[in-house]
Amino acid sequence: MAENSVLSRIQHHPDEGSLTFQGVRYLLIRPETLASVQKQIEAEVGALRAGELLYAGGFTGGQLSGRKYRDAFEFTERQAVEFMCRMGGEIGWGRFRLLELSPEKRLLQVEVDSSPFAVAYGEPTGQAVCHWIRGVLGGLVSGLFSTEVRAAEPLCLAKGDPVCRFVVEGQR
């Protein structure tokens, strides 16, 4: 089995029933749980608004993590993005490929194979569904470059595309 640099350093605290990495708490949760929450929110407020709400959740995590690991490991912005992409795969969020990172253009493009959010969503749908990944990447760029961003998922497994693709553009 390939070395997993995150899982091998996760600490288990049995008294609390908690897992931490670099002092940050994580949890394992079945993707079906998240897909169920997503579908219920979609049924209440519609797919568009649901996407915005879930994006906001991912955004918070991405912004915190990007800054935290950049500072903890003294990374450059590029190293922080590469680390987050590797970590994404190592914590089961799908296999991330960094396609483009341009600090000048404030542009990030990432492809993800086998997104658990798309797989757990199940039924084919007309829209992209990986709002948490989109949010994490949006928050990552926003946090690292201190900018407002727009983040899109033009390709998604859930729409029948072969991969999920994310494009994050910072405002100037």
Window contacting Zn ion (CB under 5 A); options: 38-46, 50-58, 81-89, 117-125 = 117-125
Site for Zn ion (CB under 5 A): which residue of 80, 81, 156, 167? 156
Measured CA to CA, the distance from residue 114 to residue 93 in angstroms comes to 8
| Residue whose C-alpha is closest to residue 106's, from 52, 56, 143, 64 | 143
Measured CA to CA, the distance from residue 54 to residue 132 in angstroms comes to 6
Nearer to Zn ion, 81 or 164 (CB): 164
Tally of helices (H runs) and strands (E runs) in the chain: 5, 7
Interaction of residue 151 with Zn ion, rule CB under 5 A: no
Interaction of residue 167 with Zn ion, rule CB under 5 A: no
Window contacting Zn ion (CB under 5 A); options: 13-21, 24-32, 77-85, 124-132 = 124-132
State the alpha helices, DSSP H only, in the chain. 31-45, 47-73, 77-90, 116-121, 131-145
Interaction of residue 38 with Zn ion, rule CB under 5 A: no
The CB-of-156 to Zn ion minimum distance in angstroms stands at: 3
What residues numbered 1-20 form the site for Zn ion, per CB under 5 A? none
Site for Zn ion (CB under 5 A): which residue of 38, 65, 115, 142? 115
Residues ≥6 apart with Cβ < 8 Å to 71: none
Interaction of residue 164 with Zn ion, rule CB under 5 A: yes
The CB-of-115 to Zn ion minimum distance in angstroms stands at: 5
Interaction of residue 144 with Zn ion, rule CB under 5 A: no
Interaction of residue 118 with Zn ion, rule CB under 5 A: yes
Measured CA to CA, the distance from residue 92 to residue 89 in angstroms comes to 5
Let me know: does 107 contact 169? Beta carbons within 8 Å: yes
Binding site for Zn ion (CB under 5 A): 115, 118, 130, 156, 164
